[in-house]
Amino acid sequence: MSKKVILCVDDEQIILKSLRDQITRNFGRQYLCELAESADEALEIIEELNEDDIDILVIVSDWLMPDMKGDEFLLKVHQQFPQITKVLLSGQADEEAIERTRQQVNLHRYLPKPWDEATLIEVLKSGLGGNA
């Protein structure tokens, strides 16, 4: 069985660790949880996984990151991989950015920081659809 991936992108390690811990606690080894500290690092991971024929099912991305904001990152991903479910996670995204992301990248959900684990898992399960 090929591994399926949930990719989390945030410039804060504590956020990434929290996301990884919550995903692992709720999904066990059902999915690999990849972490990236920047949009550029995430794009490299996506390219490597794609080359290895490993499916990324969901991307959870922060909005406010250095170099490239989450909406711009998700747009780049969407142009190449429209089938990936995209979740925007942020405490600082403005309504205009959220709405633009919804329209341009078929945003699955926006989660405000701080989030609660139950909501995160519900959003991931709905985003995974038949893969959950």
- pLDDT exceeds 90 at position 109: yes
Mean pLDDT of the chain: 94
Using CA atoms, how far apart are residues 5 and 116, in angstroms rounded to an integer?
A: 21
CATH, residue 77:
3.40.50.2300
Q: Which domain holds residue 48?
A: 4-131
**What local confidence, expressed as pLDDT, does residue 123 receive?**
97
Question: Is it the case that residue 131 has pLDDT exceeding 80?
Answer: no
How much is the pTM?
0.95
Say whether 73 sits in a helix, a strand or coil: helix
Specify the pLDDT at position 63.
94
At residue 24, the pLDDT reads 97
Q: How many domains does the chain have?
A: 1
pLDDT tens figures, 80-90: 999 999 999 99
For residue 5, give the nearest of 49, 65, 41 by alpha carbon.
49
